Structure 1
C-alpha cells in the first residue's frame, strides 16, 4: 500500500509540475556525456520536480547496491549486526581492494562490500526479507527464494521514481524502524558535508563482473541545503568502466544547476 500511495503522490506532483516535460538542461547534460539514462530530482514537498527520460524513470530495474540503504535498516532491525560489530574477511581476494579486509557496517556500506551484506543476508533469510519488503513497500517487493543475491541478479526491481518516493519516506522516518537505526544509516550515508549542505547517497552497479548481464549504474540519495531537501535518483547504461564516475558527475552537475547546492 505504501509503495502505491507514494508513487501515486510523486507521479501526481510530477504531472502537476511544468517540469514534467523533458528538462532541457538535464537533457543537454546526458547528451554531452553520451549517456543513455534517466534522472529524477524532487524537492521534499514535491512541488518542484525535474526529470530526464520520463519513460525510463518509471521503468523498474535491479537496484544493485542502492539496496544497501533499506538492507542496512532490515539488518539492524533483525539484530544480525550492531554499529561497532566487525565481520572477519575470509581471505578471498575479490575484485575491489577495499573489500579484502575486515569490515564494519560503515566501511562495508561506503565501499559497497558485497560479501559483507551477503553474510548479513544469510542471517536475515528469505522469509524475513519477503515480509520486510512488503512492509516497507520497496519496489516490487520480490526478493525471491535466494536471500544473498536478489538485489544483484534476482527478481527485485525498482524504478527511479520509486527510489525517490522511498527516500522521502526514509527521510521523514515513515518506515517501521527504530530511531537509532535511522540515525546510524544517516551517518554512514554521508558522502560530503559542509556548513552549506550535506549530501547522502549510494551508488549501485547491476551486472558488475558479469558482462553477459545488462550493465545498469545507479546513484540515489538526497541533498540537504539551508532550508531545502532535494531527492535524486539516476540510472544509466554502463558501457565501459570509465562510466562509473559519470553517475556522480551527472547528479552533481544537476544539483549545481537546479538545487543551488553551493549557495
Structure 2
C-alpha cells in the first residue's frame, strides 16, 4: 500500500511537469512526441506527454549505446579506434561507404558496421546481455542482426533515461574500461555552458515512424539526462530531434 501511495505521488508530480511551456515548444515545431528530463543531483524532473513517455518503443539506433558495450565486452573490437573494413557495398549514406571505427560508426549511425558484429552474437547471448543491463523489455526476436530496428525489443523514454544514468555513473555490470569508451564515443559537442553526449535514432519499420534523441548534458553544477521521442515521417525533419530537446533545455534554464 505504501509503495502504491509513493508511486501515485510520483505520477502526480510527473503529470504536473507536463507544463504548457514545453507543449508550446512542441507546437512551435509542429511535432508530436514526448520528452523526459531528469537531473542527477537536484532530483528535478520534467516530462511532456506522460502517456508516450511510458510507451515501449523500438530503440532504433539508440540501441548502439548498449550494443557498443556488448561488442566491446565480447572482444569483437579492441577499442574505439580499431579499423572496421568497408565491404565495398554502396549504401544509403555516403559516410557509410568507407572504412569505419567504432567511434565513426557510432557517430554516423552506420548500420552495416553494427550488423557485422551482431551476426556474431547469438539471440540467446543478446537476451542474457539485455537482462544483465536491465535494458527495456529485454526481448530480441528472431534476428540478432536487426532486432533493434524491426524486432521485439522495446524501451520507454523513462527507461532510456534510467539506463543513461547507470551508464554515466558506471553502474553497469561490465568493465569500466568499456563503459568509459562508450561514454567517450557519445560525446557530441562542448562549449562554455555545457558538454553534450548523445545518440540519435529513427525507427522506420513501424507504422508511425519515430525519432529518438537521448543522452546527458553536463553543466558546471549539474548533470541532466534526457530522452526525446518524436513522431517523424520525413527524413528532412530529423533535425527536430535535437532542436526540440535544446529548446526545452533552454526554456527550463538548464542551458
What interval of TM-score do these two structures reach, taking the shorter chain for normalisation? over 0.9
Local SS of the residue matching 1:73: helix
Structure 2 unmatched runs, 5+: none
Structure 1 unmatched runs, 5+: 1-7
CA shift for structure 1 position 255: 1.4
Structural mapping, 1:5-154, within 5 Å: 14-15=10-11, 17=13, 20-45=16-41, 47-83=43-79, 84-154=81-151
Structural mapping, 1:174-185, within 5 Å: 174-185=171-182
* Counterpart among 163, 186, 189 of residue 189 in structure 1: 186
Q: Compare 111-120 and 172-181 and name the one that shifted more.
A: 172-181
What is the number of equivalent residue pairs in this alignment? 250
The verdict on how the C-alpha distance between 1:253 and 1:148 changes in structure 2, with shifts beyond 3 A counting, is: same
Runs of 4+ in structure 1 deviating by more than 2 angstroms, as ranges, are: 10-21
CA distance in structure 2 between the aligned counterparts of 1:224 and 1:179, rounded to whole angstroms: 20
1:242 lines up with 2:240 in the alignment: no
CA shift for structure 1 position 88: 1.1
CA distance in structure 1 between the aligned counterparts of 2:82 and 2:189, rounded to whole angstroms: 24
CA RMSD of aligned residues (A): 2.0
CA distance in structure 1 between the aligned counterparts of 2:250 and 2:222, rounded to whole angstroms: 14
Local SS of the residue matching 2:90: coil
CA distance in structure 1 between the aligned counterparts of 2:9 and 2:129, rounded to whole angstroms: 27
The verdict on how the C-alpha distance between 1:124 and 1:46 changes in structure 2, with shifts beyond 3 A counting, is: farther
What TM-score do you get using the length of structure 1 for normalisation? 0.89
Contact between 2:40 and 2:224, CA under 8 Å: does it hold in 1?
yes
Local SS of the residue matching 2:211: strand
What TM-score do you get using the length of structure 2 for normalisation? 0.92
CA distance in structure 2 between the aligned counterparts of 1:73 and 1:146, rounded to whole angstroms: 19
